[in-house]
Amino acid sequence: MALNPYCLMEINLRALDENLSLIRSFIKPRTEIMAVIKADAYGHGAVAIARRLEELGVSYLG
């Protein structure tokens, strides 16, 4: 089996928004959220995700 050297990863910030909204629907309104962002392997968008989470009002990033 030949390996395909081309890979594509798409970061969907709209899905991130929707997922955070869903999480918030299950918790009390004043509950703080800490989002853990793992290593930015191969530049997969950790900075963009962190910025969006800050815009969405996440209390802490880890």
Could you state, in order of their start, the residue ranges of all structural domains in the chain?
A: 33-62
Task: List, for residues 4-18, the tens digit of each pLDDT value.
Answer: 778 777 889 999 999
Beta-sheet pairing, 34-35 with 60-61: parallel
The tens digit of pLDDT for each residue in 4-56 reads 778 777 889 999 999 999 999 999 999 999 999 988 767 788 998 999 999 99
pLDDT given for residue 41 in this prediction: 66
The residues, any chain, with a CB within 8 Å of residue 22's CB and separated by 6 or more, are none
**CA–CA gap between residue 3 and residue 30 (Å, rounded):** 49
pTM: 0.78
Cα-to-chain-centroid distance, residue 14? 10
* CB-based contacts of 50, cutoff 8 Å, min separation 6: 35, 37, 61
